[in-house]
Amino acid sequence: MKILIVDDSRAMRMIVTRTLRQAGFGDHEFLEAENGAEGLALVDSADPDLVLSDWNMPEVNGIEFLQALRSKGSAVRFGFVTSESTDAMRTLAAEAGALFLIAKPFTADTFVTALGSVLAV
């Protein structure tokens, strides 16, 4: 499977990748984008199976990215990995079609819980 990691911080993209490997998902292929605009282009060109996106990014932020994907008919599986996790954001994320919202900081166990069933499908 291909997992697209979208975050404006290269340090955070490395940590997400490292945590995915620690969580046992190291056999998957990892792609990276710096913001929602790059993410949209990569979903089109690389057809990932799952998108893990930050929320707070310049240019096109995470929720705008998800809404743009859905508005163009993409049903790619999508989850947020973000430093904010209010009830309102979780509701907005779910209504827009996100499967989960992982709050930073996280652990490998957090990824196992959130992604285990998603990647098993």
63 vs 69, which CB is nearer to another protein? 63
Using CB under 8 A, which of 73, 105, 120, 121 touches another protein? 105
CA 109 to chain CA centroid, Å, is 16
For residue 40, CA distances in Å to 65, 86, 91, 121 come to 7, 25, 22, 23
Residue 85 found at the interface with another protein (CB under 8 A): yes
What are the structure tokens assigned to 73, written together? 């008919």
Question: How far is it, in rounded angstroms, from Cα 52 to Cα 3?
Answer: 7
Residue 86 found at the interface with another protein (CB under 8 A): yes
Residue 109 found at the interface with another protein (CB under 8 A): no
Using CB under 8 A as the criterion, what x/- string covers residues 21-60 for binding another protein?
A: -----------------------------------xxx--
Residue 106 found at the interface with another protein (CB under 8 A): yes
Using CB under 8 A, which of 72, 107, 116, 117 touches another protein? 107
What are the structure tokens assigned to 100, written together? 């989960």
Q: Check: CB of residue 102 under 8 Å from CB of residue 111.
A: yes
Name the 3-class secondary structure at 78: strand
Contacts with another protein by CB under 8 A lie at 8-12, 14-15, 18, 56-58, 82-86, 88, 103-107
